[in-house]
Structure 1
Amino acid sequence: MGTGTGLVNQPATFEGVVDWYARMRAHDPVSWDEQYGAYHVFGYDDIQAVLSDPATFSSDLTGLMPPQAELELFSRGNFVRMDPPRHDKLRRLVSKAFTPRVVAELAPRITTITDELLDDVAGDPGFDLVQTLAYPLPVTVIAELIGVPAADRAEFRRWADSLLNAQLPEKVIPDQERLNQAGERMRAMIDYLLAHIRQRRAHPAADLTTTLIAAEVDGEHLTDEEIVGFLGVLLIAGHITTTTLLTNAVWCLDTHRDAAAAVRRDPSKIPAMLEEVLRFRSPFPRLARLTTTEATVGGQRIAAGKILMPWIASGNRDERQFPHADRFDPDRNPNQHLAFGHGIHFCIGAPLARLEARLATTILLERCRDIEIADGAEFYDPRMMTGARVLPLTTTWI
């Protein structure tokens, strides 16, 4: 890989990163990045092949990490970073909370929360979408599922922001100092969740934490430390996709007024529009995998023990899979995007994120006649996540 084409050399702008994807798909679709210490994978078919083969491309990178107490504790129950068979057993436990029936039953509660949040700013000519709706809605839903007080959501946001706002590391495997900093950022969340788990052991309730405490895997109950990893992933990852999806949806509708007019005329178009938002501005742009044996990706031989970064946001812009891929097309069909991943690690919360985004977008458009993005928007580094931290709106209420 030549100088200037590596990850850390790319501008921290959405347009700059999308341009990098296009250049790399055309000229170096499976690229060794010496400075970063990983292969980048940019094409849709190659990404899908990598994500479809967990035996060759492992999700468990913990063996490469320097020792760090908090991260090691968190990883015990973080099934996102596990391989079969352990991954499959632990995922099955959590999947019971996200079945289509369970998720569908949340619709009335999601509607109520959305209306209450918008009631708080009703009539205001301007408000921040993130602070008002896009953050508190999904975090309240996930907090209620887990059984922690939604009133603590300001604390949850501090933890999420400290993890998500970290600077892009110069190497894929961070050094000890960076890992220790990450561990410090996670300590308060780990302590909070451990206290909650112990409280639920003493006082069971009708929530996911109690379900996990009672569950058995291979005849064994989960430890408190394993449950911490479960709950931490659900609390952070369980809201951030919906938060960024909502900010990205409003951004796309603001910059594509024909699409906005079309979904206002016919709200049944909102689900397809949201799928296009997920493709066009994918919340999590990349994943990470480790080769367990020598492998071939895109015709390139890759040795065992190498890290691959499948750039799903680039795969979602691949012209060979999506005609006119750089065009926002709210009626796009088919739209087999990779925004929620692919294979055994496909996002377990995808049905919930889709439901929350559909209901919130529908209600927002019903209650606000005109929605425009105002000055002052702040965005995450798109090399790490796509979405707004702050999204001020000006609006006319109906």
Structure 2
Amino acid sequence: MNNTGSAFLQVSEISTKEERYEPFGWYREMRSKTPVRYDEARGVWDVFRYEDVKFVLENKDVFSSSRSQSSQKSPIEQSLISIDPPKHTAMRSLVNKAFTPRAMKDWEPRIERIVRELLDDIQPGKETDVVAALSSPLPVLVIAELMGIPSHDHAKFKEWSDWVVAGPKDNSAEELQKLAENQMRTYRELYEYFAKTISFKKTEPADDIISVLVRSEIDGEKLTDEEIIGFCILLLVAGNETTTNLISNTLYSFIEYPDEYKKVKKDPDLYLKSAIEEGLRYRSPVQSMSRVAKEDVEISGTFISKGSFVFAWMGSANRDEDVFEHAHLFIADRKPNPHLAFGKGIHFCLGSPLARMEAEIVLREWIKKFPDFGLSSDFELNPIESTFVYGLKELKVKTS
């Protein structure tokens, strides 16, 4: 098994649908009994406590984000999420321009327009799958506009994004091989698509992030097409799937905690921003990230040798009782809330301002139009089968 990917569905202790969406009891047991443990089956180290997870994520001198040992790396393995300084520092400074407060302000009315158009298609009093109708299409539309992708390709974008983050239905050799083949096909199609787009933007630049990257230079050298393609794929996945699950996970938490939702509904100006932060903590859209030890290191008294893969479980860290009082509860106005949902250190999620803004706009508008809602009569818990992201395939609700 390739241990360079994320490990969410590959952990043998997490098997049923309910356990995949509610792994928090298992996290609690791991924090208590084996906060740093070696998993023989996966050949990796797992880290569960908040301070240890934070240490792994923010310590770039000890842990590398370059996880592939192959000389021929995929575009995503050449992107920001998988490279170390100094290349990471230079590239991040370039793409940061797309996520400044000023840039976000410019994007706000465009996101509001997209949200209202999606909400107009949801009929009050009827059962609706919020994922299909709202939280899934919204980030795709936003990211596509940000990248200058024409509207007729948006559906294909979503399909590609789903395949990139897909996980196996089981750990059988046949299923793993099938998944690998589908993901290779997806990367090939994405590579070809973005290569054509980059070629077009070189002669017909516009006001979008691909055009910015095409024109940019690092130390007098332009970015290669492979580097730009890697960032485009990363932006497609990170800006799409995680935002989708931030929105739907938070709505699900509102249903779980009606009294907390009442507070938010009564005064969104006071409570909505903090409720989104709590949604990020309570049901983090990304549960773990992996690193490679660049040297021998000790974590909480446990020796880890150079070259070892280490999984930092943010989903567990964000439920650590030593850091968060009543960590098992969703508290809309929780303060302080130093969650690690967006990571820590130099790889802190570049698109976090965009994700927060999308979530705030869509939840504010949702509350206005559908102040009262609950699970539909035929709702079934059906978590995403992914080795990277965490959320629900569907969230069927009935609005009033």
Q: State the Cα deviation string for residues 189-220 of structure 1 (Å, max 9, x = none).
A: 22111111111112111111111000001110
Answer whether contact 1:8 1:36 (CA < 8 A) is retained.
no
Q: Distance in 2 between matches of 1:104 and 1:168?
A: 41
Moved over 3 A (4+): 168-171, 174-181, 381-384
Q: Which residue of 2 aligns with 1:75?
A: 77
SS in 2 for 1:204: coil
| Superposition deviation, residue 371 in structure 1 | 1.2
- Is 1:317–2:319 an aligned residue pair? yes
Q: Distance in 2 between matches of 1:214 and 1:30?
A: 45
- Is 1:56–2:62 an aligned residue pair? yes
| Superposition deviation, residue 104 in structure 1 | 2.1
- Is 1:47–2:48 an aligned residue pair? no
Answer whether contact 2:285 2:391 (CA < 8 A) is retained.
yes
Q: Distance in 1 between matches of 2:77 and 2:386?
A: 25
Moved more, 129-138 or 327-336: 129-138
Q: Which residue of 2 aligns with 1:393?
A: 397
- Is 1:20–2:26 an aligned residue pair? yes
| Superposition deviation, residue 382 in structure 1 | 7.3
| Superposition deviation, residue 169 in structure 1 | 8.1
| Superposition deviation, residue 370 in structure 1 | 1.8
In structure 2, give the amino acid aligned to 1:262: K
* Unaligned stretches of 5+ residues in structure 1: 1-5
Answer whether contact 2:14 2:20 (CA < 8 A) is retained.
no
Cα distance, 1:305–1:170 mapped onto 2, change above 3 Å: farther
- Is 1:209–2:210 an aligned residue pair? yes
Q: How many residues align?
A: 384
- Is 1:95–2:96 an aligned residue pair? yes
Moved more, 121-130 or 17-26: 121-130
Moved more, 261-270 or 113-122: 113-122
Q: Distance in 1 between matches of 2:316 and 2:119?
A: 35
| Superposition deviation, residue 261 in structure 1 | 1.1
| Superposition deviation, residue 175 in structure 1 | 8.5
Q: Distance in 1 between matches of 2:131 and 2:274?
A: 22
| Superposition deviation, residue 166 in structure 1 | 2.1
Q: Which residue of 1 aligns with 2:11?
A: 7
Q: Distance in 2 between matches of 1:188 and 1:367?
A: 39
Q: State the Cα deviation string for residues 59-90 of structure 1 (Å, max 9, x = none).
A: 00111x5x7x6x534423x1110111111111
Relative contact order (alpha carbons < 8 A, sep ≥ 6): 1 or 2 greater?
Answer: 2
Q: Distance in 2 between matches of 1:293 and 1:175?
A: 31
SS in 2 for 1:341: coil
Cα distance, 1:136–1:124 mapped onto 2, change above 3 Å: farther
In structure 1, give the amino acid aligned to 2:67: L
Q: Distance in 2 between matches of 1:51 and 1:166?
A: 23
Give 1:1-398 correspondences, 5 Å limit.
Answer: 7-12=11-16, 13-14=19-20, 16-63=22-69, 65=70, 72-76=74-78, 78-123=79-124, 125-167=126-168, 179-268=180-269, 269-374=271-376, 375-377=378-380, 378-381=382-385, 384-396=388-400
Q: Distance in 1 between matches of 2:182 and 2:127?
A: 37
Q: Distance in 2 between matches of 1:90 and 1:120?
A: 40
Q: Distance in 2 between matches of 1:158 and 1:15?
A: 22
- Measured on the aligned residues, the alpha-carbon RMSD in Å equals 2.1
Answer whether contact 2:76 2:234 (CA < 8 A) is retained.
no
In structure 2, give the amino acid aligned to 1:137: L
In structure 2, give the amino acid aligned to 1:200: K
In structure 2, give the amino acid aligned to 1:372: G
Cα distance, 1:142–1:288 mapped onto 2, change above 3 Å: same
Moved more, 142-151 or 265-274: 142-151
In structure 2, give the amino acid aligned to 1:9: E
Answer whether contact 1:10 1:16 (CA < 8 A) is retained.
no
Moved more, 15-24 or 294-303: 15-24
Answer whether contact 1:139 1:150 (CA < 8 A) is retained.
no
Cα distance, 1:20–1:32 mapped onto 2, change above 3 Å: same
Q: Distance in 2 between matches of 1:290 and 1:219?
A: 31
Q: State the Cα deviation string for residues 292-319 of structure 1 (Å, max 9, x = none).
A: 1100111111110100000000000100
Q: State the Cα deviation string for residues 253-275 of structure 1 (Å, max 9, x = none).
A: 11111011111110121110111
Sequence identity (%): 36
Q: Distance in 2 between matches of 1:130 and 1:177?
A: 26
Cα distance, 1:394–1:175 mapped onto 2, change above 3 Å: closer
Answer whether contact 2:128 2:396 (CA < 8 A) is retained.
yes
| Superposition deviation, residue 150 in structure 1 | 3.2
Q: Distance in 2 between matches of 1:46 and 1:39?
A: 12
Q: TM-score, normalised by structure 1?
A: 0.91
